[in-house]
Homo-oligomer: A and B are copies of this chain.
């Protein structure tokens, strides 16, 4: 069944801009260029270019949202939601996903070569914000000839980017689906990010960010990822998955991993460091912590926007609790925006948005279909 609905083999493409004398101005005042965005695109762009959807990824995501890279056994990170007949139906829509700037999966980030030194940027890479990520994505969308996206959607930091699209380029977005997200990080969310950063920076191999010609700070990054994983799951889902099951028959009475949950976390930490750059982890979490579209910044007072919203949260998500989604929707209602909110019952915590939750699929599918129809009538 699943293979039938798969996109099959897909490829990552690259788009480079802000070359030579025209670097991109960042929110910090610094500028960055040239900038390369790694991106993938699935489905066909229709004649009037009205069926394009931009998918935006979370902290550790990348451009490879769906289908398979040649030789890979693992599909893209949102394959459950993107493909023929799926929520983001590639039989109907042209679906784009790009790796964020600051990332390490093909887009320009701290591990990229600094053209001025011909060495990796490391901490010479400027601090980037969610608005900078979106500004770069807009260049890609312009390059693809798309004036108005049918939808921008993503979960967690993807949801932040989806909201930022509305704040930065409201005319360019017919609809948005921010999932399991917030319009600003709470101190608890900042705290978890900061501890992750401290874990990385506490590793002597981090070496103030200059580790690209030596050992990378794998132990620190692994600890950061382990912390992250606990916050992505729920107490309930961890109980269901691990309970207090032991890896061996009895307690070892040593500091080895006795419990399955310990082995799982170590495994997730160890596998993460093989695919992720520690400096990117610092830059991207900092961007999330700086993000703040509260207090009217999402839609300035007096401004009318024509973007439909579907805001989704998950009951068991304690990292991005439902009240953060409700804050957004309550604000949208005061601005007379066409906005719906659904809290989805799911036990998997924050990670739920990545999974094949029938209610999420159903809601997204119908929302996109309705938006497409409304858009057609208008155009």
Contacts and interface: CB of A to CB of B under 8 A. Distances in A.
Number of copies of this chain that the complex holds: 2
Q: Is the interface of A mostly helix, strand, loop or mixed?
A: helix
A235 interface: yes
Interface stretch (A10-18, A56-64, A238-246): A238-246
A11 B110 CA distance: 55
Interface string A181-212: 00011111011101101110111100000000
A330 B199 CA distance: 40
Contacts of A185: 244
A127 to B, nearest CB: 4
Given A184-B244, A290-B251, A190 B261 contact: yes
Interface string A225-254: 011011001010011011110000001011
A258 B241 CA distance: 37
A198 B289 contact: no
Nearest to A260: B187
A126 interface: yes
Given A204-B204, A222-B198, A265-B195, A187 B239 contact: yes
Nearest to A227: B195
Given A239-B187, A244-B184, A257 B194 contact: yes
